[in-house]
Amino acid sequence: MPKRVSQSLLDPLLTKPLKGLYRRLHIPARIPPEGIVLFGHVCAILGAIGFAFATTRWWGGLLGAAGVALNHIADVMDGTHARATGQCRNGGELLDHFVDPLSFSYWVTAMAYSADCLLLGIGGVVVIYSMAVIANIKAKLVGEFTLARFGPTEFKTLLILYGIGLAAQMAGLISSPDTAADNTFRFMLVMFVAGVVQSIISLWAAINEVNSSGPPPDQTEWEIEN
C-alpha cells in the first residue's frame, strides 16, 4: 500500500482538526466506510446542482458551497472511520479514488454551464483527470501518494468561498447580480490556466521522480488472450 503524504498548505488547518471531530460524531461501526464515500458523492452532486444555478438563483452558491464542504468532511471521515473500526478494504480505497475526480468534474462542469462556457468546463475536466492520473501512476511506481501544496483541500476551499461570494452577489449584497456569469467565467479561466501550469510542472516532476526512485521499468509484453 503506497504511503500517503500531504504537502497541502491547508490540511494542517482544516483537515487535521476535522479528524479530531470523528469521536464526537459517534458514527456507528455498522456503517461501512463505503457508505460515507457515497454520502460524500451525493453531496458533491447536490453541490454541482447549486453551482449550475449560482448565477441565476441566490441559493445556488450556498448549495454549491454546502455540497463541497460536506463532501470534504465525508472525504476526511471515510478513511478515519475505516481505520477506527477495522474496515479498511482495497475496494473502499478504489471507490474513494474513483469518485474524487468525478466530484471535481461535476463542479467544474456545473460552473461552466452557469457561465455559459462549456469549453472551459471540458478543459477543466481534462486538467482534473490529468492530475489524478499523474498522482495515481506515480504512487504505483514509487509507493507514495502525494498531495501537492495546492491540492484538493485548497481547491475545495476556493469553491466554497466562490459559492458564498456568488450567493452574496446574487442577493445584491456586494455587487450587481448582472455580472455574476462574467465573474464565474473569470474565476474559471484563472483556475484553468493555473491548473494547466500545475499539470505541466507536476508531470515533469513526476517523470523525474519515477525515473530516479521507481522500480526497474516493466519490459513484459502484453498477453493477448483468445
Average pLDDT score over the chain = 91
User: Could you give the CA distance from residue 178 to residue 170 in angstroms, rounded to a whole number?
Assistant: 8
pLDDT per position as a tens digit, 169-206: 998 888 888 899 999 999 999 999 999 999 999 999 99
Q: Is the pLDDT of residue 226 over 80?
A: no
Mean pLDDT of 82-101: 91
Q: Name the band, by pLDDT with cuts 50, 70 and 90, for residue 2.
A: low
pLDDT at 7: 81
Sign, CA dihedral 24-2-101-162, equals positive
Statement: residue 74 has pLDDT above 90: yes
Is the pLDDT score of 72 beyond 70? Answer: yes
Span 218-222, mean pLDDT?
81
In the numeric block, the cell 483537515 is attached to 15
- 177, 179, 151, 157: which is closest to 65 by C-alpha? 157
Mean pLDDT value of segment 144-148: 81
Q: What is the mean pLDDT of residues 67-92?
A: 92
CA 86 – CA 92 distance, rounded (Å): 12
**Residues paired with residue 145 on neighbouring β-strands, in sequence order:** 4
Question: Binning pLDDT at 50, 70 and 90, where does residue 162 land?
Answer: very high
Domain topology for 3-212: Four Helix Bundle (Hemerythrin (Met), subunit A) (1.20.120)
Predicted pLDDT of residue 1? 59
Checking if the pLDDT of 140 tops 90, the result is no
DSSP conformation letters of 98-159: HHHHHHHHHHHHHHHHHTT-HHHHHHHHHHHHHHHHHHHHHHHHHSEEEE-SS-HHHHHHHH
Cα 105 from chain centroid (whole Å): 8
